[in-house]
Every structure is written in structure tokens, then in C-alpha cells.
Amino acid sequence: MSFLSHKSVLFLILIAATAIRFVGLGEKQLWIDEIIQVLHSRPDSIGEILKGVAQDRGGVPVDYVVQHYVMKAIAAPVETSARLHAALFGSISVALMYVLSFHLLKRRRIAMWATALYAVFPFHHHYSQEGRPYALFLMLVLALSILFIHARTCSSWTIVLSMSLCAAIGLYTHPFTAFFILALISINLFRLFSGKVPKPNLGFCAPLISGAIGTCLFVPWLLFSFKSSGEFSEPLSLNLIPEAIQGLGDGSYPVSIILLALAALGAFHLWKLRLDALTDLTCWIVVPIPLILFVLYWRSYFFAARQLIFITPAIVLLAAWGIERLLCRYGKKAMVVPVVWILLCLAVIVRHYPDDRIDFRSAGEYLSRAAAAGDRIVAPNSLGLLSFYFPAIYAHEGDGFEPGAKRLFFVDTQYASAAERGPLLGIQARMALRKHVEYRGISIHIFEHEGIE
């Protein structure tokens, strides 16, 4: 393959990756976490944004501030403008994947495979179309990894300061950046103890220095905000393993199992060749996992597959090497494996385009039209979400039994517990049900006091 044709294929991959991240960007409604982030991103004052982020279960502010300015600059429906930056960062990440692959593995064809796999990887595509911090977080992790590789051969303060800036921004985007920095430190320590680093220099110390500088810059935010525990508790158990595997394929076991099988094959081949890349990729995957589980246990927080998203580039790099091994051994016949995997990925992406999320938009717009002066609204655990589409909803908050109340709208969703639905029985005993309105995942019961027509 000539260099020109290689460039052409890479260009087509990057164009395709960008296209599938922007196509249908605003088709789906915002889901609960996106609505919460946009609510915190909306205030005009940066100070108010920071206060809101501090209340968002240990959130960190960079992605909120970026989203704020993108939404302010782009005249588009909120579902599109809130996700636009994520699609952009996700597209850039695919390009960075090629740079990382080429510099780490030193093989242009394997770098191309890694880029192609990541372009259609549904797990990454999903979070490139969500108005949350994960696309930016992953882009910064990839940038840090590229700088780390350069630090091995270019021992300069420019690299160290660039890594420090990237680490600080990463920590202000997602605290798990610290786990990736620890993985980089572990890689260097392993290389040192195995005798592959003759003498530590500035480049060797780059992860440690940048991690220390980034942490110092992150301390003010910790003092300001990182006080609240998660609101959910889930015992850590072996059940998390199948959940993590399914999440890796964005809900598809075949996608994740084939990817992991290719990664295992790639790791075995790297081990036989005794290449240093295996150390890098293994530490990238293995070191963060116990740290994540410890933090989830310590913070009484729940596990979600997205918490592992920053280790997926290492898995894809190993899978690309596995594909190369298959091709070398079985020739063109082995092409069926990556082709089937890519088709499965595209099928998963297409399957997720239809909007099946809870219809807060329609329910909020209905309430804004239907609720009149004197009406009251009860919406257990969803009043704030509905306020996104009906900002004046708090003026109607109440149980409907106070003097002057006319009608009561009881909004029932999956987020309401059995205890929170309890008052509905008392309402039914004291008021007459006049209307029942259904939206996807939401039931609105409209009550009036007896005798009111």
C-alpha cells in the first residue's frame, strides 16, 4: 500500500467516523443525566455554573462550561447544541487513536485497523452523541498517552508542562483521569524494575511531575465541591463482570466478546514477540479497575460501564494487533472476522437511533399548556427534570389540598419509589380523577376537588 493510498483510506475512515457521530445527533431526547448537566450549564454566570456543578454528585466543571458556550454560540435545538461538543471531541479522538497507534505500535497497518475499529465502536459512538463529559475525557486521555510516548524519546520541559496542562484539564473534566496517570506511572516503574530504563530522566518522571502539578491545580475544586456521596448504593459483586462486558459492546454481547477475543489474541502475540507495547496496554487496562471499584465502594456509588470508557483505547489497540495476527496466519479469509464485527457495530449504532427514552419533553410541554393559575403539580423525583421543558413548574408545586387549589396533576415515572407513590392513594380518596394522560414512560393523573366542574 503506497503512502498516498494509506492517507486516502485514513481520510475516508475519519470522514465516516465524523459523519456517524453527527448524523442524528439531535434525534433523541436528552436523558436524565443530560438534562441535569444542561440545567447546570445554563446560567449566564460562570460562578452560578460552578455552584450547580458542585451539587452534581461530585461533578467537575470543564465540560459544563464548554457546553455552556457551545449552546450559547450555536442556534440549534437544545438536543443538538447540548451534544455538539461531544460529537466534535469524539471525532477528534478517532484521529488521535491513529496517532497513538502509530507511535506506540510502529506499524501503519495496525494503526489503520485500530482507527477503523474505533471509528465504528458503538460504545465510543454512544458517548460521542451524549451531552456529558465522557467524549472530552477520552480525548484528553488519548492526548496524555501520546505525550507520554513522546516523553520517552524527547526529555523536555515542554512535554512535561504539556502533560501537566492536559492532566489538570483532564481532572477538571473527570476525576478518573487520576487513575490513568497512575497507570502511566506504573508503566514507567515496571520498565525501570525490568531494566528497560537504564537511568531515569525528565521524560521518565513526566507522568509523576504532571500528575503532581495537575493534582495541585485540582485541589481548589476539591475543597470547593467534592463533598457529596453518590445517591445510589450497589454492592460490588461478580455480577458486575457480565454488566461490564455487555456495556463494553453498548448493550451487545457479540460486539464485546469478539472485541475481547481479538484483544486476548493480540496480547498473546505481543507477549510472544516480547514487545514493550504489551506492558503499556496491560497497565492501562489493569491498574485503573481496582481503583475504580474502590472509589465506587468508598463513595457508595453505583457501577456503570461508562466508568471504564478510558481503558477502551488499550483494548481496541490489542484487538487491532489480534486482527493483524489473524491476517498474517490465515490470509484474506480472516477478513471475515473484522468485517462481521464492524457490521455488528453498525447494527448496534442503527438500533440505538430510535428514541425510546422517557418523554419528559412532551410531558413538560403538556403541563406548561394545561396547568393554570391555582393548579398544583406533584412529580416525585422528576419535578426538576420537567422544569427543563416547563420552567414555571415550581410555581405550581404543592399537594393540591391547600386553600385555593383547583386541580392536582400527579406525574408518575419510574423514578418515583413506592413510598413516593403512596400519596396517590390519599389523593384518589379525596379528589375525583378527571383525566389520565400517557406519554412514553410517564403517566399524568389529573384530579379535581369534588363538586368542581
> pLDDT tens across 227-280, in order?
544 455 556 666 788 888 999 999 999 999 999 999 999 999 999 988 889 999
Closest CA to 278 of 321, 310, 248: 321
What's the pLDDT at 1?
A: 44
- Nearest-10 Cα torsion for 8, 10, 16, 18: -120
The verdict on 31 and 170 lying in the same domain is yes
CB neighbourhood size of 353 (10 A): 11
The verdict on 335 and 409 lying in the same domain is no
The verdict on 263 and 326 lying in the same domain is yes
Closest CA to 179 of 278, 267, 285: 285
Of 351, 386, 401, the last residue of a domain is: 351
The domain in which residue 391 lies consists of: 360-449
The verdict on 93 and 140 lying in the same domain is yes
3-state secondary structure of 410: strand
The verdict on 141 and 237 lying in the same domain is yes
The verdict on 342 and 384 lying in the same domain is no
The verdict on 239 and 334 lying in the same domain is yes
The C-alpha cell 469524539 sits at 90
What's the pLDDT at 183?
A: 97
What's the pLDDT at 452?
A: 46
Question: Which stretches of the chain score pLDDT less than 50?
Answer: 1-2, 228-230, 452-453
The verdict on 343 and 444 lying in the same domain is no
The verdict on 239 and 343 lying in the same domain is yes
What's the pLDDT at 344?
A: 97
346 contacts: CB under 8 Å, gap ≥ 6: 120
The verdict on 337 and 383 lying in the same domain is no
What's the pLDDT at 235?
A: 60
How many structural domains comprise the chain? 2
Give the number of C-alpha atoms closer than 13 A to the C-alpha of residue 390, restricted to the C-beta side.
25
The verdict on 252 and 306 lying in the same domain is yes
The verdict on 311 and 401 lying in the same domain is no
